[in-house]
Amino acid sequence: MLVFIIVLSILILVHELGHFLLARKLGVMVEEFGFGLPPRLIGKRIGETIYSINLFPFGGFVKLHGEDYGEKLKYPRRAFMRKGKKVRFVIVTAGVLMNLLLAIVSFGIVYSFSGIPRETKNVKVVEIETSSPAQVAGILVGDIVRKVDKKEVATVEEFVNSVEQKKGKKLELEIERTLPAKSTEVPGGIVKLTITPRENPPEGQGPLGVIITNTEIYYPPVILRPFYGIYYGSKEAYFWGENLVVALIQLFANLFKGKIPHDIAGPVGIFALTSKAAQYGILAVINFIGIMSMNLAILNIIPFPALDGGRVLFIVLERVIGKRVLPKIEATIHAVGMIILLLLLLAITAQDIQRLISAGGISGFLDNVLK
């Protein structure tokens, strides 16, 4: 539970901190910085801003002066609604940008400590199935396959294609064994082995019964790791962002077809996933924070009322039509959007609880969500 609260707090506070810092920087008064959704439990005024903790911990907010329709403006020059389109746009999108930055930093930290995968020309054996042709022939974990029937192989695809063509027939492997096996007298160097790939291997095993890779883990010099981390962290953030966009498109397509999604996780699901990540250590939790932060960034920029993207949409409309949408109408639309989002959150939470009970615990629940 503690890890879940910490992860949720980081995600929310970083997002709201973006709105807070840019509002202050651009001359907008921040009336309240709240963790969780109202009603307020406790609050303390520091300077001109109230910092509060609220009852529902599944969100957060920054209350800007002059943000709500009909609000009495005590400081008109510092009111959000009195600022120009560019200023409002920057403040509204700041939370999304902070979540994007958090995702990049989180992934960068993981890569800096766990190493950076990179492709090589070494097709390396990393696992061997018991009683498989590979084990019988004497292949060892760590062996590098250089040739298959005297033909050089430098990628996993080349190796797989060469073996597939010789199923049921003998073939010769030329292997580089960099270190002799500790418990045998098998020498290192170049070793030639004869092996017969299976025509009908057991499910989940290939013709030889080996798992191979041409990817290695690279550890850059310590002084360069932050730069590598930022680069690969950005690529990882893009990967998760792209996957989420595709998933959202598929989700809406299914909804239009009348298909109800069953693999969406709400607060209970996030708690279960956080608990699972915590079992694998701090780097797994940091990686999970990166994934969730990227999800939060993408979801928040969707042009739906009450979300940051919905507020951006009204600013864009103002730019297009040349005048601002009536504040009363905009406020009503955002209020309706918030109600819809809260109802959706309750529905997903109820579904999560039902699945958690029927699955008999967190492990079964995660199996259903991730399959």
What Cα–Cα distance (Å) separates residue 89 from each residue in 32, 311, 320?
20, 8, 14
- pLDDT for position 100: 96
Q: What angle do CA 130, 120, 238 make, to 5 degrees?
A: 100
Provide mean pLDDT across the span 310-336.
88
82 within 8 A of 91, measured Cβ to Cβ: no
Return contacts of 341-347, CB within 8 angstroms, 24+ apart: 341/304, 341/306, 341/307, 345/58, 345/266, 345/267
Which amino acid, residue 90? Answer: V
Q: Which of 152, 99, 87 is nearest to 123 (CA)?
A: 152
Q: Which of 13, 12, 20, 14 is nearest to 63 (CA)?
A: 20
- pLDDT for position 272: 76
How many Cα atoms are found within 13 Å in the side-chain-facing hemisphere of 26?
23
For the stretch 355-367, pLDDT in tens is 677 766 666 656 6
For the stretch 129-149, pLDDT in tens is 888 888 888 889 889 999 998
For the stretch 149-177, pLDDT in tens is 888 988 999 989 988 888 888 889 999 88
Listed in order, the ranges of the chain carrying CATH 2.30.42.10 are 118-218
- 326 — pLDDT class (breaks 50, 70, 90): confident
Peptide bond into 207 cis (omega under 30): no
* Cut 0.95: pTM above it: no
Between 72 and 69, the more confident residue is 72
For the stretch 80-128, pLDDT in tens is 988 999 999 999 999 999 999 999 999 999 999 998 888 888 899 989 9
Q: What distance in Å separates the CA atoms of residue 38 and residue 54, rounded to the nearest whole number?
A: 5
What Cα–Cα distance (Å) separates residue 228 from each residue in 282, 293, 346?
20, 20, 41
- pLDDT for position 36: 83
For residue 190, what are the β-bridge partners?
176
176 within 8 A of 158, measured Cβ to Cβ: no
Token pair 């191979």 is found at: 212
Q: Which of 51, 68, 56 is nearest to 16 (CA)?
A: 51
- pLDDT for position 183: 46
Q: Which residues contact 225 (CB under 8 A, 6 or more apart)?
A: 111, 112, 219
For residue 62, what are the β-bridge partners?
33
For the stretch 18-34, pLDDT in tens is 999 999 999 999 999 99
Q: Which of 6, 1, 2 is nearest to 289 (CA)?
A: 6
118-218 CATH fold: Pdz3 Domain (2.30.42)
Provide the H-helix boundaries in the chain.
2-25, 85-114, 133-137, 156-164, 225-256, 267-278, 282-300, 308-321, 327-359, 362-370
Provide mean pLDDT across the span 30-50.
91
347 within 8 A of 339, measured Cβ to Cβ: no
pLDDT of 221 over the 50 cut: yes
The per-residue DSSP string of 294-308 comes to HHHHHHHTS--TTSH
